[in-house]
Structure formats: structure tokens, C-alpha cells
Amino acid sequence: MTDLSAFPITQKWTPQNPDILQLFSFPTPNGVKVSIALEEMEIPYEAHKVTLADADVKSPEFLSLNPNNKIPAIVDPHGPDGPIGLFESGAILIYLAEKSGKLIGDTPVERAHVLQWLMFQMGGLGPMFGQMGFFYKFAGSEWEDKRPQQRYIAEAKRLMAVLDKELEGKDWITDSYSIADIAIAPWLRALDFYGAKETLGWEDHTNLVAYLDRFLARPAVQTGLVTPPRD
């Protein structure tokens, strides 16, 4: 049995089977990227619920793996040189794709395009949608000055238009289904949670509507979206 005692996070979230990959996460748009990828790649794993409360993400055990106190994070007992811990959803997606040889393109050109759109999500879609949600649904919506809200609504619309155009005549954002789709689609789904679809003109983006429907129809996606369970 693999010894994971070098990772203090396993003291708070104890593995039942330390010989398989350990996922520390919560079903947010970033969190489900990794559970979906693991399901799609058929990599055995054990999921541990790490809530967004300070008692979890700011605990010494969690910070020992991710000093940035954000989910998701993993410990892979079968890393390239022994057990390895990783944080940042994009970095984890790349690691898993390279480990499994799946969902990262079959040629150097395809791989480059997958990584290009993964970075688009990491640097643009996720942060901008997150800010839009703060100013549209949460505390920022109460501010009298609506310029921040307007700024992020406009940027969310711009990013949606970029994706909608790119998806014209395509099923997926690159030549085939990849970790780029696994990164992008959960953030599009988050617009329901923010209650912002009507404001952003979601239904006018017909390519995005069909794209998200295709994504959500995948069995691995349906499992990954609820792993680990919220309750």
C-alpha cells in the first residue's frame, strides 16, 4: 500500500485507498474540471469533499498542498518519480491528459490548439465570468456604482461571442473533444447559477447552446458534475 504520509493533507482527508489518485475538491466550475477529466480518462480516483469554508481551504493541511487555498488539488501516488501533489485546475488537466495520453490532441499541432483554448479559459473566461457573477449576483450587485457590473457583463458577452464564432460548424472547440472543452463548458454552465443568461443574451448564441447541451449529455460529465457530492 502506498505511503502518502509525506502529504499532510491526507491527515485531514484520509484516503481509503492510497494506491489510487486522491482528489480534493468541491463541485464548482473549477472543481468539476478535474472530476470530469478523471471520469472521461477512466483514471481510478478517490474524491474528498473540501468545502469553500476557511476551516477547510485555509486549514494547515490543505495549505500544505495548495498555498493558494483554492480547490481543486490532487495527490497522485503514481507520479513520474513517485507520489506527486498538484494544484491549479489547468495544470492538473494537462498532467492528467499527459499521464493518460487522452484528450490533449493526437499531434503536436492539435496539442498546441488544445492548450491555446485551455489558456483562454484559465486567463479569460473563468476570471471574467467569476467577476461578472460577483457584481451581478453577489455583494457587488449592491454597489450603487454600476460601472464594474457593466464592465464585466460587457466582457462576458465579448468572450461568449468569441466562443460562439469559433464553434460555428464544430462540435468541440478544437478538432476533437479535449481538456479545453472540460475547462470551458463548466463555466458556461455557471451562467445558470449566476442567473445571468437572459442579461447576456445566451439564447442568441446558438452554437454555445448546442455545445453546452452536447457536453452535458456525456455520461462522464454527469458523474463528474456531482463528484464529490455537495451534501
We report the CATH number of the domain holding residue 142 as: 1.20.1050.10
Judge if 172 and 91 occupy the same domain.
no
Instruction: Please say which residue of 86, 102, 118 terminates a domain.
Output: 102
User: What range defines the domain where residue 158 resides?
Assistant: 108-218
pLDDT in tens, 144-170: 999 999 999 999 999 999 999 999 999
Instruction: Please say which residue of 102, 118, 139 terminates a domain.
Output: 102
Judge if 120 and 54 occupy the same domain.
no
Q: What is the CATH number of the domain that holds 74?
A: 3.40.30.10
pTM over 0.75: yes
Please report the pLDDT score of residue 208 as a whole number: 98
Please report the pLDDT score of residue 191 as a whole number: 98
- Does the residue 20 lie in any domain? yes
Edge-to-edge strand ranges of the sheet holding 21-25: 45-49, 21-25, 73-76, 84-87
Nearest one of 142, 123, 134, 117 to 196, comparing CA atoms = 134
Q: Which residue has the cell 461571442?
A: 161
Nearest one of 23, 21, 48, 46 to 33, comparing CA atoms = 23
Question: What are the DSSP calls for 94-163, one per residue?
Answer: HHHHHHHT-SS-SSHHHHHHHHHHHHHIIIIIHHHHHHHHHHHTSGGGG-S--HHHHHHHHHHHHHHHHH
pLDDT in tens, 35-77: 999 999 999 999 999 999 999 999 999 999 999 999 999 999 9
pLDDT of 27 over the 90 cut: yes
- Does the residue 227 lie in any domain? no
220 sits in which H/E element: helix 219-224
Judge if 175 and 83 occupy the same domain.
no
Question: Pairing mode, if any, of strands 73-76 and 45-49?
Answer: unpaired
Judge if 195 and 113 occupy the same domain.
yes
Instruction: Please say which residue of 102, 131, 166 terminates a domain.
Output: 102
pLDDT in tens, 92-105: 999 999 999 999 99
Please report the pLDDT score of residue 1 as a whole number: 81
**Residue 194: C-alpha distances to residues 50, 129, 197 (Å):** 22, 9, 8
